[in-house]
Structure 1
Amino acid sequence: MTATSFASSTPSSSRRKTALIIGSGIGGLSLGIRLQSLGFDTTILERLDAPGGRAYQKRTDDGYVFDMGPTVITVPHFIEELFALERDRGMLAEPDYPPHTLAEDARVKSGESGGPRTREYVKLVPILPFYRIYFDDGTYFDYDGDPESTRRQISELAPEDLEGYEGFHADARAIFERGFLELGYTHFGDMPSMLRVVPDLMRLDAVRTLFSFTSKYFQNPKMRQVFSFETLLVGGNPLSVPAIYAMIHFVEKTWGIHYAMGGTGALVRALVQKFEELGGQIRYGAGVDEILVTDGRGQPVKRPIGTRTARGVRLESGQEMHADIVVSNGDWANTNLKRIPAAARLVNSDVRVRAARQSMSLLVIYFGFRDDPARPLNLRHHNIILGPRYEELLTEIFGHKVLGNDFSQYLHVPTLTDPSLAPAGHHAAYTLVPVPHNASGLDWQTEGPKLVERVYTFLEERGYIPNLRERLTHSEYITPDYFEGTLDSYLGNAFGPEPVLVQSAYFRPHNRSEDIGNLYMVGAGAQPGGGTPSVMMSAKMTARLIAQDFGIHKDIRDGTPESVEQKVPEAAGAAD
């Protein structure tokens, strides 16, 4: 067995601090960039052969490029902020949300988006409409965040809900302003931090379920679906998540939906480039077998008492690597169940971890097909295709954990925006079907192929992609087994702990371990939750906690649950 330590022999006050991050997902990469800016020497350990985690990008031998995970990018300011960071210069002192980006007309409608530093690394373009939402009767709603367009379409599909939309718009905006702009970067590390905001959440009616909240304003089932489906894209059941998630409507409305030319994989590669420019290192094929934890005497923890401190990791190869801090960007449940000794865990015990509700999983089909100029696709970049049932289907997936006779899906056709992802004259697409995670006991080797065939038949017979099977040139798929095996996700969940009320804010896994010193979490499993913008926020929250713990005060805000304007204390000295 070999051991590698990143600590030099110089006194701790003068040597550079070191960090190990487990996993190169967007959260891990974002935190790596921030730690380099705080003066750490950071190594990211990735068990796969390329970066991205859930945002892994696959290139096929027949010329297709598929983003295997997230495809929706919003809040480009979060990305610009990362590319603007410099090594050892501390984090940015500007407000978390620049005021000029919050105007009603801030949404980019055409051309290239993203700030000047972003454009040095990746090209972002806005997507309109954000989503085309198809209903089972063949009608559709183009969701683009424009209130006038929204009112016009409501008047056509559900005129009885026009007045209700005005109420929803006003109340969702209030939730967005308090829940996202003011509290978005709050780390709820103790109960008092949570109790201080409960009165506001109650006043905003943000603790009832999202679907119940939406149903206050809309009577037509179609409008209830349009204004509640988005939480499915971050692993949340609209029937169960709290209404604070109504803020997603305003997050998208304010900053729009964007696409990275070359796919989300191009954004991942850009983040890797930035991280390495700042001096960070990534090791691929470096799966972590155990997080090394010592007691107050520097010995491996054997009893759940005393001081416990993370001192490094042991790789699957047997090599040990030591560092000042360890951060997991992996699955929260499996980080605890597989990689941290049970004797080192009190708060995150096996009982608590196994009792937590996990998000649903996915079947995702990646396929390529020939274009037909005589019958151009009547699709958009992002398509939500809803089945005949909504509440019943969600209950089957999240509650009963069974496969129904029907399904809904998210069909992504990026080649309508970016033809480079497929051979000339072809399209690359994926379609994502929410399914139960592996607590269902379903045999995906049997059920997977059958569901794929049902989806292809549906897309063809309903006319979404006419003659699809004749035109198909590439087809592969993943099931919950991919999430459980390849991505090491507990029960094959696709988004971490389900974002229900009792697993949100203070009740969601904390970014600073309650059990072990110098151990942190980042990404979808930590606060604030899943989704590309949220994991970038998670990285900033975790970086601030690390800065506090190590006395690094340059340009660091305290993250207390107050208004945005109150979060910027005076700089208090140079970085350690």
Structure 2
Amino acid sequence: MLAYPAVFLGASPYRAPALYHLMSHLDLVEGVRYPRGGFGTLAAALERLAVARGVTIRTLTEAERVVVDPVTPDPSVAPGWRGRRRARGTVRGVVVRDRATGTAELLDADVVVAAGDLHHAETCLLPAPYRTYPERWWRRRDPGPGAVLVCLGVRGRLDALAHHSLVFTADWRANFDAVFGPHRAVPDPASYYVCRPTATDATVAPAGHENLFVLVPVPPDPGLRPDDPRVTALVDRVLADLGRRAGVDDLAARVVVRRVLTPSWFAEHLHAWSGGALGPAHTLRQSALLRGRNASARVDGLVYAGGSTIPGVGLPMCLISAELAARRVASRPDRARAGTAS
């Protein structure tokens, strides 16, 4: 139980640095906080704060390319150890496409903050000469696990479940090898996490119903789709097991809403590297300062935030990365200029 939180850092407990077991201390001693209305209320609060300060938020808009102006190399700077001068540039803006109309446009910007997946930003949005982290860099990295997420609306009470429940397999080594090992496969049996927010907050489901969120770690495979027989069988097994443990043998029959998200959804909708659910795994080589940095090394004005960068995954860490990005922007000599797009 004390080791399993490493999974939510995208790592196997057998590979996670021991320092991360402090998470269990935070959970058990400091306690856990929950925002009434669910975590969507936090995003809504950030939106209100941003709009009140003059930010324009555009949704259903896909970033397609970061536009970079080349910078003439300084002849006084020695070339790299291979005798080549690295390409340098400065950001000019972002080409975006409105999904509703299909119209593309260039948003001019002095600074671009890319808060999505770092692999996507570096390998898809940037021209090749300006990439700090090209594809060869990612080939030596671990994307962490994927996830099958089962979002359920259930008729009737499920009082046997707490707000948070963890269900473990008896053979941990086999379970983690299936998800993180060299020969990855959908685990059977599988460990899983269940969230029942209606245990704390009655506003997140209609009267007489429960809201359940089930997370099953699986390999980071974008080929895993909701209609894949392996996924269908996995979800059915997990729901049958959960029903038995909760004393509700007819759980599947009481489900009135069922939505399944798989690594394919993370890859297609969030551009997540390898369809991973949690960002790069927090192995020793991908922790702290060894993660992707918060700014491009080759493009002035291009800043990064989110779970792919320093300091790591999880809501608190991502907010810290945003703070680091904000400090970088605020420290720029031209910070008073208008027209910033992110």
TM range (shorter): 0.7 to 0.9
Distance 1:229 1:391 in 2: 12
Secondary structure at the aligned position of 2:170 is classed as: coil
Q: Work out whether 1:311 is the aligned partner of 2:92.
A: yes
Of the three residues 121, 136, 146, the one matched with 1:351 is 136
Q: Work out whether 1:277 is the aligned partner of 2:61.
A: no
The 1:416/1:442 distance shift into structure 2, 3 A limit, reads closer
Paired residues of 1:312 and 1:321 also in contact (CA < 8 A) = yes
Of the three residues 388, 391, 401, the one matched with 2:170 is 388
Give the letter for the 2:16 counterpart: V
Distance 1:404 1:306 in 2: 45
Give the letter for the 1:315 counterpart: V
Cα RMSD for the two superposed structures: 2.2
Paired residues of 1:504 and 1:528 also in contact (CA < 8 A) = yes
Give the letter for the 1:240 counterpart: R
Secondary structure at the aligned position of 2:64 is classed as: strand
Q: Work out whether 1:480 is the aligned partner of 2:263.
A: yes
What is the correspondence of 1:60-209 to structure 2 with a 5 Å cutoff? none
Give the letter for the 1:364 counterpart: L
Percent identity, please.
29
Give the letter for the 1:535 counterpart: C
Of the three residues 304, 308, 317, the one matched with 1:521 is 304
Give the letter for the 2:162 counterpart: R
What is the correspondence of 1:514-553 to structure 2 with a 5 Å cutoff? 514-550=297-333
Q: Deviations over 1:41-70 (max 9, x none)?
A: xxxxxxxxxxxxxxxxxxxxxxxxxxxxxx
Distance 1:251 1:326 in 2: 34
Distance 2:154 2:62 in 1: 35
Q: Deviations over 1:59-116 (max 9, x none)?
A: xxxxxxxxxxxxxxxxxxxxxxxxxxxxxxxxxxxxxxxxxxxxxxxxxxxxxxxxxx
What is the correspondence of 1:144-543 to structure 2 with a 5 Å cutoff? 226-253=1-28, 255-296=30-71, 305-316=86-97, 317-345=103-131, 347-372=132-157, 377-399=159-181, 400-438=183-221, 442=224, 445-446=227-228, 447-543=230-326
Give the letter for the 1:330 counterpart: G
Alpha-carbon distance, 1:267 to partner: 1.2
Distance 1:306 1:517 in 2: 12
Paired residues of 1:363 and 1:433 also in contact (CA < 8 A) = yes
Q: Deviations over 1:524-552 (max 9, x none)?
A: 01100000111111111222222333387
Secondary structure at the aligned position of 1:281 is classed as: coil
TM-score using structure 2 length: 0.87
Larger helix fraction of residues = 1
Give the letter for the 1:542 counterpart: A
Give the letter for the 1:287 counterpart: E
Distance 2:176 2:221 in 1: 16
Alpha-carbon distance, 1:430 to partner: 1.1
Paired residues of 1:348 and 1:515 also in contact (CA < 8 A) = no
Paired residues of 1:397 and 1:435 also in contact (CA < 8 A) = yes
Q: Deviations over 1:477-506 (max 9, x none)?
A: 111111011111121011111111111222
Alpha-carbon distance, 1:348 to partner: 1.2
Paired residues of 1:370 and 1:473 also in contact (CA < 8 A) = yes
Alpha-carbon distance, 1:443 to partner: 6.1
Alpha-carbon distance, 1:355 to partner: 3.0
Q: Which runs of 5+ in 2 are unaligned?
A: 74-83, 98-102, 336-342
Q: Which runs of 5+ in 1 are unaligned?
A: 1-225, 553-576
**The structure with more radius of gyration:** 1
Give the letter for the 1:312 counterpart: G
Q: Deviations over 1:348-395 (max 9, x none)?
A: 1221123321011100111111214xxx52111011111222122112
The 1:283/1:304 distance shift into structure 2, 3 A limit, reads farther
Task: Give the paired residue count.
Answer: 319
The 1:341/1:534 distance shift into structure 2, 3 A limit, reads same
